[in-house]
Amino acid sequence: MSDLYHQMMQQFAEERQRYHQRPTASVAIRFDGVEKTLDGRKVLDGVDLVIPSGKITAIIGMSGGGKSVTLKHIVGLMQPDRGEVWIGAQRLGQLSGRRLNQLRQRFSMMFQSSALFDSLNVLDNVAFPLRERRLLDESMIMARVERALSQVSLTGMGHKFPDELSGGMMKRVALARALVTEPEFLLLDEPTAGLDPIIEHSIHALVCATYLRTRYTTVMISHAVPEIFRWCHHVIVLHQGKVLAAGSSMAITETEHPVVRQFIRGELQGPIKII
Ligand X SMILES: Nc1ncnc2c1ncn2[C@@H]1O[C@H](COP(=O)(O)OP(=O)(O)OP(=O)(O)O)[C@@H](O)[C@H]1O
Q: Is 183 in the site for ligand X (CB under 6 A)?
A: no
**CB closer to Mg ion out of 67 and 177:** 67
- What are the distances in angstroms from CA 78 to CA 27, 66, 95? 21, 12, 14
Rounded-to-integer distance, Cα 192 and Cα 256, Å: 27
CB nearer to ligand X: pick between 68 and 108: 68
Q: Are 230 and 252 in contact (CB under 8 A)?
A: no
Q: Which is nearer to Mg ion, 59 or 206 (CB)?
A: 59
Task: Tell me how far, at minimum, the Cβ of 65 lies from Mg ion, in Å.
Answer: 8
- Please state the closest distance from residue 148 (CB atom) to ligand X, in A: 24
Cα gap 74→77, rounded to integer Å? 8
Size of the site for ligand X (CB under 6 A): 12
Count the residues in the chain: 275
Binding mask 111-150 for ligand X (x = CB under 6 A): -x--------------------------------------
Considering only residues 30-89, where is the footprint of ligand X by CB under 6 A? 38-39, 43, 61, 63-69
DSSP 184: S
- How many Cβ atoms sit within 10 Å of the Cβ of residue 263? 22
| Of 59 and 157, CB closest to ligand X | 59
**Number of alpha carbons in the 13 Å side-chain half-sphere of residue 31:** 28
**Which residues here bind ligand X, judged by CB under 6 A?**
38-39, 43, 61, 63-69, 112
